[in-house]
Amino acid sequence: MNEIVINIDNEDDYINKYNSNNLSNDLSNYIYEKCKGKPFNNKIGILIKSNFKLNEEKQKDIANKIHNNYKIDLEENLLIIKYSTIKKLLIFILGIIFLYMSYVLKINFVLSETVLIIGWVAIWEAAYAWLFESDKIKIRIKRLKKLSTCDIKFEEISKK
């Protein structure tokens, strides 16, 4: 299990300064950055250490803000994949149309060859995106799924 330790010194450290219903952007980025470089199939746990007493209501509030933050990010990335897939498919189809047009436009050699090249480039771009670029966002989605359901524990740091 990958455990991320967070130290909270102030009750407002986890709250977004512009919207108190959201998680702080700094904390959100910190949590996600701590996941990088680690196997994305491992379970993720978060340990929140505070210098003050967090009652059960505050603990639930923090946990909900963390989970909701990554659920929103997950939904956004799934939406990006949906529209990206549609775009790749349209580019691929457009490439096939251009290839077909290049064989039909045998009137002008330069025009025919230009349309042929555009068709192959469009097909290559779609294939390249499917084969290589989609891996990054798929890994991000797997991490966001883990973070949206991760175990969150709380610990009070004893003052000396």
pLDDT in tens, 29-71: 999 999 988 887 888 999 999 888 888 998 999 999 999 999 9
- The reported pLDDT for the residue numbered 126 is 92
Residue 106: both structure tokens together: 């045998």
Q: Go through 22-55 and write b for each residue having 16 or more CB atoms within 10 A of its CB, e for each that does not.
A: bbbeebbeebbebbeeeebeeebebebebeeebe
How far apart are the C-alpha atoms of 14 and 12, rounded to whole Å?
6
DSSP annotation of 43: -
**Strand stretches in the chain, DSSP E:** 2-8, 44-50, 151-156
pLDDT in tens, 62-91: 999 999 999 999 999 999 999 999 999 999
* Reported confidence tier of residue 159, pLDDT bands at 50, 70, 90: low
Question: What is the pTM for the complete model shown?
Answer: 0.79
Whether the predicted pLDDT of 160 surpasses 60: no
Burial of residue 99 (number of CB atoms within 10 Å: 0-12, 13-18, 19+): middle
- As a whole number, the mean pLDDT across the chain is 88
Asked if 114 contacts 9 with a C-beta cutoff of 8 angstroms, the reply is no
Asked if 7 contacts 49 with a C-beta cutoff of 8 angstroms, the reply is yes
How far apart are the C-alpha atoms of 141 and 77, rounded to whole Å?
7
HSE (side-chain half, CA atoms, 13 Å) at 150: 35
